[in-house]
Amino acid sequence: MKYKNPNLTMKTTMLILVLFIFTACEKKVNPFPDHMGSKIFQGQQNAKVNCANCHGDLGGGGMKAPNVAKAVKNLTAEQFSGIVMNGKGSMPPFADTLKEEEILEILDWLNKLPS
């Protein structure tokens, strides 16, 4: 009969569990950090514009605002620029701080992110 150490089996199970939790909690990284849209979104281009402050670094949403990485997949470019220029609810308007091309850069970057 094969000898099995139950303690060792337990330890192995625990180790696998811990590794699994670590992988699941791994912080998402920006797949396109040099994208112009990413820089604008995260406030590296213009200090007055920081979408990430409310929507999270990768647009995944947070306490203050919804997940825009997901929302853009259901918005046309016109709808997206309309919201960004005019604001929505407690979101301020950016018509004075962003150009149309910049808004489209943000949209392009958000569309490339996994939602």
User: Can you tell me which of 11, 48, 73, 88 binds ligand HEC, judged by CB under 6 A?
Assistant: 88
The token duo for 84 is 């960004």
In the numeric block, the tokens 């939602």 are attached to: 115
Return d(Cα 34, Cα 57) in angstroms, integer: 14
The token duo for 65 is 């605002």
* Closest distance of CB 66 from ligand HEC, Å: 5
48 near ligand HEC, rule: CB under 6 A: no
* Closest distance of CB 30 from ligand HEC, Å: 15
Residue nearest ligand HEC (C-beta atom): 89
The token duo for 19 is 């590794």
Residue 27: name the closest of 58, 54, 49 by CA.
Answer: 58
**What does the binding site for ligand HEC look like in residue numbers (CB under 6 A)?**
49-51, 53-55, 64-66, 68, 71, 80, 83-84, 88-92, 94, 106
